[in-house]
A and B are shown apart, each in its own frame.
Chain A
Amino acid sequence: DIVMTQSPDSLAVSLGERASINCKSSQSVLNTSNNKNHLAWYQQKPGQPPKLFIFWASTRESGVPDRFSGSGSGTDFTLTISSLQAEDVAVYYCQQYYSIPQTFGHGTKVEIK
Chain B
Amino acid sequence: QVQLQESGPGLVKPSGTLSLTCAVSGGSISSSNWWSWVRQPPGKGLEWIGEIYHGGSTNYAPSFKSRVTISVDKSKNQVSLTLRSVTAADTAVYYCARAPSGPIDSWGQGTLVTVSS
Interface residues of A (CB under 8 A from B): 1, 38, 40, 42, 48-52, 55-56, 61, 93, 95, 97, 100-107
A97 touching B45 by the CB < 8 A rule? no
| B25 within 8 Å of A (CB atoms) | no
Q: Which 5 A-B pairs have the closest CB atoms?
A: A101-B61, A49-B107, A40-B103, A55-B103, A102-B48
Chain B interface extent, by class: 20 to 34
A79 to B38, CA, bound (A): 22
Mark out the residues of chain B between 54 and 89 whose CB falls within 8 Å of any chain A CB in the assembled complex: 59-63
Contact of B48 among A61, A103, A106 (CB under 8 A): A103
| B99 within 8 Å of A (CB atoms) | yes
A12 to B70, CA, bound (A): 40
CB distance from A63 to the nearest CB of B (A): 11
> In the complex where A49-B108, A100-B59 touch, is A107 in contact with B103 (Cβ < 8 A)?
no
Interface residues of B (CB under 8 A from A): 36, 45-48, 50, 59-63, 95, 97, 99, 102-105, 107-110
A29 to B114, CA, bound (A): 34
CB-based A-B contact count at 8 angstroms: 59
Among A38, A52, A105, the most chain B Cβ lie within 10 Å of the Cβ of A52
A38 to B95, CA, bound (A): 21
B102 touching A97 by the CB < 8 A rule? yes
A56 to B109, CA, bound (A): 24
Chain A residues positioned under 8 Å from B45 (CB to CB):
93, 104-107
Chain A residues positioned under 8 Å from B50 (CB to CB):
101
Chain B residues positioned under 8 Å from A105 (CB to CB):
45
> In the complex where A1-B62, A55-B102 touch, is A104 in contact with B108 (Cβ < 8 A)?
no
Chain B residues positioned under 8 Å from A100 (CB to CB):
59, 61
Among A48, A95, A101, the most chain B Cβ lie within 10 Å of the Cβ of A101
A48 to B40, CA, bound (A): 11
A103 to B99, CA, bound (A): 14
B97 and chain A: residue at smallest CB distance: A49
Given contacts A101-B63, A105-B45, 5 further A-B contacts (CB under 8 A): A40-B102, A49-B97, A95-B104, A97-B103, A104-B46
A41 and chain B: residue at smallest CB distance: B103
